[in-house]
Chain A
Amino acid sequence: MKRLAVCVVILCSIAAVSVYSIFAVEKANDKLFRLIDSTAQSYRDGSENTKQMLDELEDYWREYYVKVSYLSQTCTLDDISYSVAKLPALLERDSEDFLSECESIKAWAKKIYDSQFPHLYSVF
């Protein structure tokens, strides 16, 4: 009976942590998207704050990487890391690719979030 109770507790904990992980990724994505949007907007406006915002985005990305690496394959996160690493150089060259790179980071992050949901196509 004790063993059964332990198993029920473990199963419930796994279910709870799994549900919590969805919200954790959602929260992390929200902040990441906000930072990307504000950096992209600042770039479009030609603001001098863009560099500072980009630094903030890079700092947050490191935090995001650690958080999400517990839940997602690190190769996906590495792909986003490459995009984030490209941003300062693109900003310096004032390249048009800066905005598309920001969008690709958002798309990758959204993909990670979507992968947390047990859709029919992902289960079977």
Chain B
Amino acid sequence: MLIVFFRAIILYVLIVLSMRLMGKRQIGELQPSELVITVLMSNIATLPIEDITIPMAMGVVPIFTLVCLDVILSHFSLKFRGLRKIICGSPKIVVSDGKIDQKQLKDLRFSADDLMESLRSMGIFDICEVQLAVVETTGKISVYQKQQFRPVTNGSMKIIDDDEGDPPQLVVDNGKIIDSTLRFIGKDRDWLMEKLDEKKVPLRQVYICTADDSGKITVIGKEQKK
């Protein structure tokens, strides 16, 4: 029992590390190769946990081999477009100027229901509103609406704000200063302490504090214990 317990802990740490090694892209969207790796990894990891006669190395070696190969392959696929097309495939246009490319949909094994479902999830209920719809390599459908159906933007209304900067960043989290975000907005600890003094809130009483590069600061204090 203890062997299984320790193995589970070790493999958990190793899988978290290997997922980190695969990078953030892995968590957000799965390319075909990444999906294969994820499925394989979850399967391989359970083997040495369940069966204690199997050495740990039999789980660790394939997991790291697969992850490393994936990272190396994705690095090369960034450099070589041809390789990227082989590994990830290429986006396919399924709707052009409101007309569905039925052959393409059939090739992709997408039903009309799948297409309509994806469009509805984007708030489009009429196919005629679609100028262009593309099935991405992840299987997600991206849609470009016809001009008359596109939402009004500041750009189209010619509303331009010259003072636009980055949004406020979290600079204090539960009484702890986050130096990296302070640096990002071009401020330092002295500036922050000065601002907190102005607001008469001691650092250890700050629950959340956000600030932007213009110097605007928002402080939310900790709730007092009843």
Instruction: List A residues at the B interface (Cβ < 8 Å).
Output: 3-4, 6-8, 10-11, 14, 18, 69-75, 78
B211 CB within 8 Å of chain A: no
Residue from A8, A10, A18, A78 whose CB has the most chain B CB atoms within 10 Å: A10
From known contacts A14-B64, A14-B65, infer whether A7 and B53 are also in contact, taking CB-CB under 8 Å.
no
B68 partner residues in chain A, CB cutoff 8 A: 7-8, 10-11, 14
Q: Which of A7, A70, A73 contacts B71 (CB 8 A)?
A: A7
Taking A3-B21, A75-B53 as given, write out 7 further A-B residue pairs in contact, using a Cβ cutoff of 8 Å, ordered by the A residue number: A6-B21, A11-B72, A18-B61, A69-B55, A70-B57, A73-B55, A74-B53
A-contact 0/1 string along B58-75, CB 8 Å cutoff: 000100110111011001
B40 CB within 8 Å of chain A: no
> A58 vs B86: C-alpha distance in the bound complex, in angstroms?
56
A114 CB to closest chain B CB, in angstroms? 17
Which residue on chain A has the smallest CB distance to residue B61?
A14
Q: Which of B55, B56, B75 contacts A4 (CB 8 A)?
A: B75
A8 partner residues in chain B, CB cutoff 8 A: 68, 72
B105 CB to closest chain A CB, in angstroms? 37
B52 partner residues in chain A, CB cutoff 8 A: 74
> A69 vs B61: C-alpha distance in the bound complex, in angstroms?
15
Instruction: List B residues at the A interface (Cβ < 8 Å).
Output: 21, 23, 52-57, 61, 64-65, 67-69, 71-72, 75
A70 CB to closest chain B CB, in angstroms? 5
List 27 interface pairs A-B (beta carbons < 8 Å), by A numbering.
A3-B21, A3-B23, A3-B71, A4-B71, A4-B72, A4-B75, A6-B21, A7-B21, A7-B71, A7-B72, A8-B68, A8-B72, A11-B64, A11-B68, A11-B69, A11-B72, A14-B64, A14-B65, A69-B55, A70-B56, A70-B57, A71-B55, A72-B55, A73-B53, A73-B54, A73-B55, A74-B52
Contact B64 A10 (CB under 8 A): yes
A74 partner residues in chain B, CB cutoff 8 A: 52-53, 55
8 smallest A-B Cβ distances: which pairs?
A: A7-B68, A7-B71, A11-B68, A74-B53, A75-B53, A4-B75, A10-B68, A73-B53
